[in-house]
Amino acid sequence: MACPAAGEELPRPCCNGYSELSSAEARRALVRYGPEEAAEGGELPALEDAYLSILQRLGENPARQGLLLTPRRAAKAMQFLTKGYQETIEDILNDAIFDEDHNEMVIIKDIDMFSLCEHHLVPFFGKVHIGYLPIKKVVGLSKLARIVEIFSRRLQVQERLTRQIALAITEALKPAGVAVIVEASHMCMVMRGVQKMNSKTITSTMLGVLREDPKAREEFLTLIKN
């Protein structure tokens, strides 16, 4: 049975709540792609097959109406959540570094961050605070948020994410110092395991003057609290 066209009614569920489609028919429906999906790359069908296998191994029936397109949706979601693998710092900076006679602290705080724990593939999310001491070069403020996005949209651990952001800013701007603090809640500690609902993890990376000079570091820490 082919995937229903726009406006067509999906098969009605049987008395057990499952769709009347067989698993084989459901699979044939799933592998039909429109032009936009076909253009998204050759990895999507393989990811979709993997999610289909997961549903089957969990004891679910991928043929039932609610799960019929779940493997495809999950595959596309995973591609979005890990799109940072396809992006580079050079691409996003793209002429956004400017000569400027400014040598005082630049801070952008409370940048929303969402990532996936590489140990359990469940989310962790929170805020990122970034500060740097420029040496006659500044970067467009939105680009700092984009740098966070590149590294957070990968399978991560918070400690590495924090350092990657700081090193990327250092390499791009060659500033006197960089500071990055990440505060996050980890669903691997909330939804499973120890199940501590209110726990937060805080990590920091300080480079250059912001590591070596206590006064500069204290200025950064004070400003992000205010």
The catalytically annotated residue of 48, 117, 129, 156 is 117
For residue 222, the tally of other CB atoms under 10 A from its CB is: 9
Beta-carbon neighbour count of residue 182 at 10 Å? 26
Q: Which one of the listed residues 20, 25, 60, 120 is annotated catalytic?
A: 120
Q: How many residues does the chain have?
A: 226
Annotated catalytic, 186? yes
Task: Report how far residue 25's alpha carbon sits from residue 107's, in angstroms, rounded to the nearest whole number.
Answer: 55
Report CA 176 to chain centroid distance, whole Å. 29
How many angstroms separate the CA atoms of 208 and 57, rounded? 51
The catalytic residue among 48, 129, 158, 164 is 158
Nearest residue to 147 (alpha-carbon basis) of 133, 167, 132 = 167
Catalytic residue flag (residue 171): no
User: CA 49, CA 34: separation in Å to the nearest integer?
Assistant: 17
Active site residue 48: no
Active site residue 14: no
Identified catalytic residue from 3, 20, 25, 188: 188
Active-site residue, from 118, 171, 212, 218: 118
102 part of the active site = no
The DSSP-derived string for 200-219 is: -EEEEEEEEHHHH-HHHHHH
Catalytic residue among 48, 129, 156, 186: 186
Q: Identify the active-site residue in 40, 119, 212, 218.
A: 119
Exposure string over 112-124, b if 16+ CB within 10 A, otherwise e: ebebbbeeeeebb
**Dihedrals phi, psi of 180, to nearest 5 degrees:** -135, 130
Which positions are catalytic?
117-120, 158, 186, 188
